[in-house]
């Protein structure tokens, strides 16, 4: 992918990763991009780099615009290696002594990734760097989503380099929101649910602060996916909405099954929910990736978790999912457990324990049935679905 001019003198020079399908446990069926940006000014400035194996592509893109050796400053908005992995190659090419601007935590974290003694220039929140015709203002965004994260803002262009925030894992020929239309929104929501949900209260504070500051933003350039230039307020507002996690009348039934008994319960629960007018999403964990399930949970009011008892414990995919869910700390939701067992039957109790630790509200002691559900057990599952649907109506 060739460099693209975003506004006069500011270019996308990143790399498209068409083939990545697993981004540290997050499924990326449409690949991703590692966005880096070049500002041509009196001081030529590179914003972020790319994953290590794409460093030559970044340098080739820069070389189509300017000799990389003419870069004066490098800005590292975030240490994670999908954005810093290219730094050693870039610094070697442009000159190891070139100033490298980052947050104070960025300096500490970069030094723990790379042995090179670069010319670090740590910046304060609100610090300003004059590039000539333009200035960069640095805004620390600690824990959005790493301690080192920061944004860089070009006041003269009303353009925000937002690091991971407002990104999406999407690889395609499009570089801008107006080229993608609505198709980008599922990826933006999935990205929020999997990368930023844990920090939702901080996102909300940031969105409110940016709104109060009246910071003019015409363009948002994230480190992944497309650039928001048509209506950047739309993604900022979406972040506010997703952070609030206002529950819809929707229930996610997440489960795995050995011999379809737990699946039959899931389907009966879904029918009961449906009967109350609740949107029911039964999601089998070997058909739906954990990162897609968490995206569905983002705006759901209820979560039902089902597992057969296997070797006196949970089915492995269910434990995997509950661990992932617990780490992302979603807002309080109504919850219940269900599952089939043969002789010991620990699964429902174990799920309940996990759901309580997640601080979900258990609406029912849980439905456990021995071996294969008969008509009465199917009716019990249907009624559990109804009970959850009726409770959601009262929310
Ligand atoms: Fe895209 Fe936190 O790295």
What pLDDT is stored for residue 116 in this prediction? 97
How would you class 143 by CB atoms within 10 Å of its CB: exposed for 0-12, middle for 13-18, buried for 19 or more?
A: middle
Residue 1 has pLDDT above 90, yes or no: no
Contact, 238 vs 184, CB < 8 A? no
State the average pLDDT over residues 185-195: 98
Q: Is 164 in the pocket of ligand 1 (CB under 6 A)?
A: yes
Q: How far is the CA of 112 from the centre of ligand 1 (A)?
A: 16
Nearest CA to ligand 1 atom 3: 80
Q: Which of 74, 94, 70, 93 is nearest to 84 (CA)?
A: 74
Question: Which superfamily does CATH assign the domain made up of 251-394 to?
Answer: Flavodoxin domain (3.40.50.360)
Class (C level, CATH) for 4-244: alpha beta
Q: Is 191 a catalytic residue?
A: yes
pLDDT band at 29 (very low <50, low <70, confident <90, very high): very high
Residue 354 has pLDDT above 90, yes or no: yes
DSSP symbol at 294: H
Q: In the structure encoding, which two tokens stand for residue 341, read together? A: 């067992």
What pLDDT is stored for residue 127 in this prediction? 96
Q: Is 169 a catalytic residue?
A: no
Q: Is 83 a catalytic residue?
A: no
- The whole-angstrom separation of Cα 318 and Cα 337 is 11
What are φ and ψ of residue 37, in 5° steps? -135, 145
State the average pLDDT over residues 230-234: 95
- The whole-angstrom separation of Cα 338 and Cα 365 is 9
Q: How far is the CA of 382 from the centre of ligand 1 (A)?
A: 42
- The whole-angstrom separation of Cα 323 and Cα 357 is 11
Residue 213 has pLDDT above 90, yes or no: no
Q: Rounded to two decimals, what is the model's pTM?
A: 0.96
The residues spanned by each domain of the chain are 4-244, 251-394
Q: How far is the CA of 82 from the centre of ligand 1 (A)?
A: 6
Give the residue carrying structure tokens 């601080």: 359
Question: Closest ligand 1 atom, CA of 146?
Answer: 2
Contact, 79 vs 148, CB < 8 A? yes
Q: Is 78 in the pocket of ligand 1 (CB under 6 A)?
A: yes
What pLDDT is stored for residue 395 in this prediction? 80
Q: pLDDT per residue over 66-93, tens digit each? A: 999 999 999 999 999 999 999 999 999 9
Nearest CA to ligand 1 atom 2: 80
Residue 211 has pLDDT above 80, yes or no: no
- The whole-angstrom separation of Cα 174 and Cα 26 is 22
Helix-helix angle 261-275:375-394, to 10 degrees: 40
What are φ and ψ of residue 2, in 5° steps? -80, 160
Q: Is 51 in the pocket of ligand 1 (CB under 6 A)?
A: no
Q: pLDDT per residue over 281-303, tens digit each? A: 999 999 999 999 999 999 999 99
Residue 327 has pLDDT above 90, yes or no: yes
pLDDT band at 347 (very low <50, low <70, confident <90, very high): very high
What pLDDT is stored for residue 376 in this prediction? 98
Q: Find residue 361's DSSP bridge partners.
A: 334
Which of 17, 26, 37, 145 does the annotation list as catalytic? 145
Average pLDDT, the chain: 97
Q: In the structure encoding, which two tokens stand for residue 324, read together? A: 């992932």
Residue 214 has pLDDT above 90, yes or no: no
What whole-number percentage of the chain has pLDDT above 70? 100
251-394 and 4-244 share a CATH fold: no
Q: In the structure encoding, which two tokens stand for residue 50, read together? A: 């790319």
């Amino acid at each position: 992918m060739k460099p693209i001019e975003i506004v006069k003198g500011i270019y996308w020079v990143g790399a498209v990763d068409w083939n990545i399908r697993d981004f540290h446990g997050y499924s990326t069926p449409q690949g991703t991009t590692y966005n880096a940006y070049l500002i041509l000014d009196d001081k030529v400035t590179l914003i972020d780099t790319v994953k290590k194996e794409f460093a030559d592509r970044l340098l080739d893109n820069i070389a189509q615009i300017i000799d990389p050796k003419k870069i004066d400053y490098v800005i590292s908005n975030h240490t994670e290696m999908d954005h810093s992995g290219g730094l050693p190659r870039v610094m070697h090419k442009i000159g190891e002594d070139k100033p490298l601007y980052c947050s104070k935590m960025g300096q500490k974290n970069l030094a723990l990734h790379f042995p090179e003694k670069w010319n670090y220039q740590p910046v304060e929140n609100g610090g300003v760097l004059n590039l000539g015709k333009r200035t960069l203002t640095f805004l620390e965004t600690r824990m959005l989503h790493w301690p080192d994260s920061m944004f860089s803002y070009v006041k003269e262009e009303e353009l925000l380099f937002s690091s991971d925030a407002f990104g999406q894992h999407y690889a395609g020929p499009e570089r801008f929101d107006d080229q993608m239309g609505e198709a980008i929104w599922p990826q933006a929501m999935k990205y929020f649910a999997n990368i930023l949900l844990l920090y939702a209260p901080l996102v909300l504070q940031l969105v409110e602060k940016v709104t109060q500051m009246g910071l003019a933003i015409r363009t948002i350039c994230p480190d992944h996916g497309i650039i928001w230039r048509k209506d950047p307020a739309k993604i900022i507002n979406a972040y506010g909405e997703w952070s609030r996690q206002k529950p819809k009348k929707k229930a996610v039934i997440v489960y795995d099954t050995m011999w379809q008994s737990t699946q039959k319960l899931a389907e009966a629960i879904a029918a009961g929910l449906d009967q109350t007018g609740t949107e029911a999403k039964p999601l089998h964990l070997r058909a739906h990736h954990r990162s897609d399930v968490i995206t569905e949970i983002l705006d759901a009011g209820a979560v039902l978790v089902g597992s057969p008892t296997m070797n006196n414990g949970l089915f492995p995919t269910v434990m995997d999912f509950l661990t992932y869910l617990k780490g992302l700390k979603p807002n309080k939701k109504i919850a219940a457990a269900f599952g089939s067992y043969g002789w010991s039957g620990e699964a429902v109790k174990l799920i309940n324990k996990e759901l309580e630790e997640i601080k979900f509200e258990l609406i029912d002691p849980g439905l456990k049935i021995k071996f294969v559900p008969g008509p009465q057990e199917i009716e019990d599952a249907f009624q559990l679905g109804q009970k959850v649907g009726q409770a959601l109506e009262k929310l």
